[in-house]
Amino acid sequence: MSDGVLIGQICRLTGATPKAVRLYESLGLLPPARRRGSYRVFDQEHVDAVALIRQAQQLGFKLKELQSLASQGPLVEAVSLGFARQAVEQKREALAQQIADLQAQAGHLAAFAAVLAGAHELACACPQVQVRRKQTPGA
C-alpha cells in the first residue's frame, strides 16, 4: 500500500461505503487525503482510522463522540488506552442501564398480562356475559 488506495479500495478493506468515508472526511475524523489528479489517495493511516470508526460505531459510539477525539490529533493516535477504557466502561454502564430498563418494562408487561387474564376470567364468569355469548351466533 506504499502508493496508497483509492476510495473503492478503502471501502473494500474496511466495509465502509464511499458515502461514509466522505462523511468521515467532512467531520474531520480522517486526515486530508493526498490527491492524484482528481482522485483522493488514502494511506494505511486512513484505512486504520476508518476501521476504528466502524468498530466504535458497532459498539455504540456516535460520530460526534469520535469527532471530539479527532480534534486532538489523528484519530488512531488520539485514542489513548486510558481514554478507550473509560469510554468503553461508560458504554457498558449505559448498556447495563438499558438492559435494566428493558427488564423492568418486561416485568410491567407480564404484570399487565396477568391483570388482563384476571379481567378475562371475571368477564367469563359473569352471568350476563354468559347469556350474551349463548345468544350470539358462532360464539
pLDDT band, very low/low/confident/very high, at 76 (cuts 50, 70, 90): low
Q: Based on the domain organization, do 22 and 67 belong to the same domain? A: yes
90 backbone dihedrals φ, ψ, rounded to 5°: -65, -40
Report pLDDT digits (tens) over 16-73: 999 999 999 999 898 889 999 999 999 998 999 899 899 889 888 889 888 877 766 6
Q: Based on the domain organization, do 75 and 11 belong to the same domain? A: yes
H helices of the chain, in order, are 7-14, 18-26, 44-58, 63-70, 75-78, 81-125, 127-135
Among candidate residues 79, 96, 129, the one where a domain is terminated: 79
Which CATH number fits the domain that encloses residue 12?
1.10.1660.10
The whole domain housing 59 covers 1-79
Chain centroid to CA 135: how far? 55
Number of domains composing the chain? 2
Global confidence as pTM: 0.61
